[in-house]
């Protein structure tokens, strides 16, 4: 029997290694898998390359991961926000590398990785400094820039409900990057609000089929399993 | 000097958006346009983070952290709206499915080049978000901005000095002084704020202007 | 008020012009918009370029459109089937042009048109006669072929339910090419089994948002509206 | 001469598909593999026309014209299955998400080139379907075919003479006479049907064979 549901966020991220490329879902805090990120901080993986739309808000979630000095490089579209002080200070101190990508190209590059596309011509960014040094081509009278896929070792995403085969549905605009990141990583780890029995998700409405998901973990863990979660958290490298 | 207020500018932009249009309103000033869309027109607001038929802000206390707009403010969804993922959302832009987008700007050139994401300052942290996708991502791109900077410099220029967002992408400029079309013949003035002469507008503008057909008729 | 629901299939296809490129949904007969095709035959548009996965089955639907000599060229992946005798005889007589495209490239080229991608590198077909004369490139040690988008003037698709804004949901594997064709045509016409009130479709489960759909028509029309539909059908060029 | 029956071939292929695998079974002979997958293994069948976790054929009278497989035969969906559109379905293949696909073939070359879509006959109507996508669309590509044509010619060849479906894409060949791996060192025999000597198999095969590690051990 295939059961992709793992017992804790610590177990879910236990093999994320130093130097890994990690996609992290979310647009701001909507869809950000905060519990998985906290577990990753506990685990203490270093020198990560992180792919996210932003670069952290406040002092929690992705911002906390940056603050813990786990991230060598970030690939994102919009790092500067009113509450991105953690990234801002690391960036100004030269302690983090930034690859800035227009948001639609970021999404399409992630989608291309999942779809096995070698490269694609996009009109976005043509003639701007973000296309500097990139191959361009005129196609049917319009100018395009060649962009390549972004693959990842791991994707950490947040969904609403999931089953033991890894099928996922999301909630409102928390969907954002989740489905495409799930397709672009070797190992996709989804935290879900609720796990359901097989057949509990409408096959017409499943957004991410289980083929794209390797691990599902309920988070935050409910009252019953909370003590265990806390226990596990105290042994970060297990 | 008389100037359009921000509400008047937003109202003026709204007037140019017909029923049935699919529209993306950029972060900042353009967001105000939503408040001025006529209630009797069905207009579909798209938000880059994956929703179509975005509704107004929720009542206080009804905010949902999972239902936000591109500016990360709480919003609502109208009946008949839909959610989708980021690749599909930007496919709607890049694929030319939006009828209009309304963007703020630092500068617009006489050929419709847009600069609105980066001042180019050495110490600035660059952040582009969806700006470059929006610049090429609608059948008509409207810019909504003050006509001049606080220092009095024209934001309409011969050639942008700030880093570009997109090339030859702007169709119409709405400022606090005028409405101006970018045409193959150059910049054509559609409307001027009451009491401002064409010559005076030209003096405040960093690129050559011509009177458009509508303006000629009204004069 | 925006109401994309049109009263009859005849009205829905009334402006499909000679020489148009028309995408037609379906995989075999699943998802084939037969009533819209029948209306198109009645309308009598000629010299069409049709994009479909197949080239018609039996004597109805797409096969009937071919038989009526409305189609100059077909772009598809799998024309030859046990019941594709209409296409077979036209093809052998040299009366129809065939552009054969591997099925995944066909889907991706349609998707690329809808997504504004200028061209993309695909591994499918590399080194085969279907890539003859096409640009190729090695990317990260793998060989790819450059493929371009397929745009259309019209898409005729079949969905299960739709609303007046054009939102659609499909039924089981009848979904197939519908959503991507809807995105790739200037004018997408969807026949639906049932129309529902606005808000009657779950926003989390809408597969094709209304932005991709210009017209919705219930078909087959129900008993009540059938007489009108028949009436309209007797004036094909209205 | 002893030969594996079609059921034995299908059973042998099924044995090489582990629990949890995502698998696409091509049209024709490979479809039979579904009937031989051990009931105690959860294996996910993908169908190119947009479904995952395909179940067995429906009971007579329960067929649904909207629920078919790539061969356009009525099928069912298991609880936990999902529907998706064609671009997503082929993204699963092209993106390397399937673990196995099992394909029929006209010819396989010693380097794993596959020819299975077109005989190249002048009057044949070409039809490729998803064959080329499947050929490059799984981590492991299995071919299942008769060892020789009805005329006795080897379908395993030095170089394919029929039009290619894919280059260097086949990993393992299951025939009615043997199981053969395509390796960087050349073709390696994994198993031979009972009573057939290696030399005899070589004589019936149009490309050089070597005994693989498993075969050497069993001899």
Asked if the C-beta of B121 comes within 8 angstroms of chain A's C-beta atoms, the answer is no
Strands (E), D8-111: 22-25, 44-47, 51-55, 76-83, 100-103, 107-109
In total, the C-beta contacts within 8 angstroms joining chain A to chain B are 135
Predicted local distance difference test score (pLDDT) of residue B218: 76
User: Which residues in A lie closer than 8 A to residue B165 (C-beta atoms)?
Assistant: 128
Predicted local distance difference test score (pLDDT) of residue B217: 82
Asked if the C-beta of B92 comes within 8 angstroms of chain C's C-beta atoms, the answer is yes
Could you give phi then psi for residue A46, rounded to 5 degrees?
Answer: -120, 170
Q: Which residues contact D71 (CB under 8 A, 6 or more apart)?
A: D27, D28, D31
Q: State yes or no: pLDDT of C236 exceeds 90.
A: no
Residue A202 structure tokens: 């409408």
Strand-pair partners of C139: C142
Helix (H) or strand (E) run with residue C152 in it = strand C152-162
Q: Exposed (0-12), middle (13-18) or buried (19+): which is C74, by Cβ within 10 Å? A: buried
Q: What is the distance of C-alpha D84 from the center of its chain?
A: 24
Q: What DSSP designation does C46 have?
A: -
Mean pLDDT of B6-10: 97
Could you give phi then psi for residue D134, rounded to 5 degrees?
Answer: -65, -35
User: Which residues in B lie closer than 8 A to residue C1 (C-beta atoms)?
Assistant: 42
Phi-psi region of B139 (alpha: psi -120 to 50; beta: other; left: phi over 0): alpha
User: Which residues in D lie closer than 8 A to residue C130 (C-beta atoms)?
Assistant: 128, 132
Query: Which of the pair, C234 or A98, is modelled with greater confidence?
Result: A98
Return per-residue pLDDT of chain D as tens, 219 residues: 789 999 999 999 999 999 999 999 999 899 999 999 999 999 999 999 999 999 999 999 999 999 999 999 999 999 999 999 999 999 999 999 999 999 999 999 999 999 999 988 888 899 999 999 999 999 999 999 999 999 999 999 999 999 999 999 999 999 999 999 999 999 999 999 999 999 999 999 999 999 999 898 876
| Pure H helices in chain A | 9-12, 34-43, 62-67, 85-92, 103-115, 178-184, 226-233
**Cα-based angle D44, D50, D55 (whole degrees, multiple of 5):** 40
**Cα-based angle B164, B166, B168 (whole degrees, multiple of 5):** 115
Phi-psi region of C189 (alpha: psi -120 to 50; beta: other; left: phi over 0): beta
Q: State yes or no: pLDDT of A235 exceeds 60.
A: no
Q: State yes or no: pLDDT of A18 exceeds 60.
A: yes
User: Which residues in A lie closer than 8 A to residue D87 (C-beta atoms)?
Assistant: 115
**Among candidates A112, A121, A148 on the partner chain, residue whose Cβ is nearest the Cβ of C118:** A121
Does the interface predicted TM-score (ipTM) exceed 0.90?
yes
**Among candidates A142, A172, A204 on the partner chain, residue whose Cβ is nearest the Cβ of C169:** A204
**Residue that is written with structure tokens 């029956």 in the block:** D5
Residue D91 structure tokens: 């993204």
8-67 in chain A: CB under 8 A from chain C: none
**Residue that is written with structure tokens 């003479």 in the block:** D161
Question: How far is A30 from D80, CA to CA, in rounded Å?
Answer: 27
Strands D100-103 and D22-25 turn out to be parallel
Mean pLDDT of B27-44: 95
Mean pLDDT of B33-40: 95
157-196 in chain C: CB under 8 A from chain A: 169-172
Q: State yes or no: pLDDT of A233 exceeds 80.
A: no
Predicted local distance difference test score (pLDDT) of residue D214: 86
Q: What DSSP designation does C17 have?
A: P
In total, the C-beta contacts within 8 angstroms joining chain A to chain D are 59
Helix (H) or strand (E) run with residue A167 in it = none
Asked if the C-beta of B79 comes within 8 angstroms of chain C's C-beta atoms, the answer is yes
| Pure H helices in chain D | 6-15, 86-94, 131-135, 198-203, 213-218
Q: Suggest the residue from C113, C115, C201 to mutate for an interface test with chain B (most B CBs closer than 10 A).
A: C115
Coil, helix or strand at residue A104: helix
Q: What DSSP designation does B41 have?
A: S
Coil, helix or strand at residue B176: coil
Contact call for B98 and C211, based on CB within 8 A: yes
Phi-psi region of C125 (alpha: psi -120 to 50; beta: other; left: phi over 0): left
- Chains in contact with A, counting 3 or more C-beta pairs less than 8 Å apart as contact: B, C, D
- Residues A43-89 have pLDDT tens digits of 999 999 999 999 999 999 999 999 999 999 999 999 998 899 999 99
Could you give phi then psi for residue C82, rounded to 5 degrees?
Answer: -60, -25
Predicted local distance difference test score (pLDDT) of residue A227: 38
43-62 in chain D: CB under 8 A from chain A: 44, 46, 52-53
Contact call for B66 and A88, based on CB within 8 A: no
- Residues C91-123 have pLDDT tens digits of 999 999 999 999 999 999 999 999 999 999 999
Contact call for A100 and B126, based on CB within 8 A: yes
Predicted local distance difference test score (pLDDT) of residue B1: 75
Question: How far is A9 from A14, CA to CA, in rounded Å?
Answer: 8
In total, the C-beta contacts within 8 angstroms joining chain B to chain C are 59
Question: How far is A35 from C163, CA to CA, in rounded Å?
Answer: 39
- Residues A114-130 have pLDDT tens digits of 999 999 999 999 999 99
Mean pLDDT of C47-68: 96
Predicted local distance difference test score (pLDDT) of residue B219: 67
Nearest CA in chain B to A88: B125
Contact call for A183 and D97, based on CB within 8 A: yes
Q: How many CB atoms lie within 10 A of CB D32?
A: 18
**Among candidates B22, B81, B95 on the partner chain, residue whose Cβ is nearest the Cβ of C183:** B95
* Contact criterion met (CB below 8 Å) for B91 and B156: no
- Residues C59-76 have pLDDT tens digits of 999 999 999 999 999 999
**Residue that is written with structure tokens 């960036």 in the block:** A91
Nearest CA in chain A to B167: A127
Asked if the C-beta of C200 comes within 8 angstroms of chain A's C-beta atoms, the answer is no
Identify whether B191 is a catalytic site residue. no
What are the b/e assignments for B78-117, b being 16+ CB within 10 Å? bebbbbbbbbbbbbbbbbbbbbbbbbbbbbbbbbbbbbbb
Angle, helices D86-94 vs C103-115, to 10°: value is 120
Q: State yes or no: pLDDT of A228 exceeds 80.
A: no
Question: How far is A27 from A49, CA to CA, in rounded Å?
Answer: 18
Residue D93 structure tokens: 């293949």
Cis preceding-peptide flag for C220 (omega within 30 of 0): yes
Shortest alpha-carbon distance between residue D128 and chain C (Å): 6
User: Which residues in A lie closer than 8 A to residue C140 (C-beta atoms)?
Assistant: 118
Mean pLDDT of A25-54: 97
Question: How far is B44 from B34, CA to CA, in rounded Å?
Answer: 10
Question: How far is C207 from A118, CA to CA, in rounded Å?
Answer: 27
**Among candidates C1, C201, C211 on the partner chain, residue whose Cβ is nearest the Cβ of B97:** C211
């Amino acid at each position: 029997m295939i059961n992709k549901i793992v017992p804790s966020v610590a177990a879910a991220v236990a093999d994320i290694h130093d130097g890994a490329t990690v996609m992290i879902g979310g647009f701001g805090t909507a869809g950000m898998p905060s519990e998985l990120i906290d577990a990753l901080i506990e685990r203490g993986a270093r020198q990560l390359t992180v792919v996210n739309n932003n670069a952290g808000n406040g002092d929690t979630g992705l911002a906390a991961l940056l603050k813990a000095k786990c991230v060598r490089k970030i690939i994102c579209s919009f790092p500067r926000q009113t509450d991105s002080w953690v990234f801002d200070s690391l960036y100004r101190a030269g302690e983090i590398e930034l690859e800035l990508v227009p948001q639609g190209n970021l999404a399409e590059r992630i989608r291309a990785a999942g779809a096995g596309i070698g490269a694609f011509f996009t009109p976005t960014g043509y003639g701007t400094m973000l296309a500097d040094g990139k191959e361009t081509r005129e196609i049917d009278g319009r100018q395009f820039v060649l962009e390549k896929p972004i693959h990842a070792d791991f994707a950490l995403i947040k969904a609403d409900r999931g089953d033991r085969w890894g099928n996922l549905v999301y909630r409102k605009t928390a969907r954002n990057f989740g489905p495409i990141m799930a397709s672009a990583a070797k190992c996709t780890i989804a935290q879900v609000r609720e796990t359901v029995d097989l057949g509990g998700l409408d096959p017409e409405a499943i957004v991410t089929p289980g083929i794209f998901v390797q691990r599902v973990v309920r988070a935050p863990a409910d009252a019953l399993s909370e003590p265990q979660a806390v226990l596990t958290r105290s042994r970060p490298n297990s | 000097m008389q100037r359009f207020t921000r509400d008047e500018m937003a109202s003026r932009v709204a007037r140019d958006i017909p029923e049935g249009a699919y529209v993306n309103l950029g972060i900042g000033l353009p967001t105000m346009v939503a408040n001025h869309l006529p209630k009797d027109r069905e207009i579909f607001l798209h938000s880059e983070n994956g929703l179509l038929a975005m509704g107004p802000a929720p009542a206080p206390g009804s905010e949902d952290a999972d239902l936000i707009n591109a500016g990360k403010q709480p919003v609502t969804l109208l009946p008949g709206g839909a959610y989708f993922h980021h690749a599909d959302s930007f496919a709607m832009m890049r694929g030319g499915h939006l009828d209009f987008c309304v963007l703020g700007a630092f500068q617009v050139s006489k050929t419709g080049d847009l600069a609105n994401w980066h001042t180019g300052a050495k110490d600035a942290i660059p952040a582009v978000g969806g700006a470059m996708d929006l610049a090429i991502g609608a059948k008509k791109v409207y810019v909504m901005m003050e006509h001049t900077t606080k220092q009095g410099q024209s934001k309409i220029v011969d050639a942008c000095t700030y880093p570009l967002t997109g090339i030859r992408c702007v169709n119409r400029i709405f400022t606090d002084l005028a409405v101006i079309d970018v045409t193959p013949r150059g910049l054509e003035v559609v409307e001027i704020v009451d009491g401002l002469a064409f010559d005076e507008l030209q003096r405040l503008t960093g690129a050559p202007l011509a009177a458009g057909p509508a303006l000629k008729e009204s004069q």
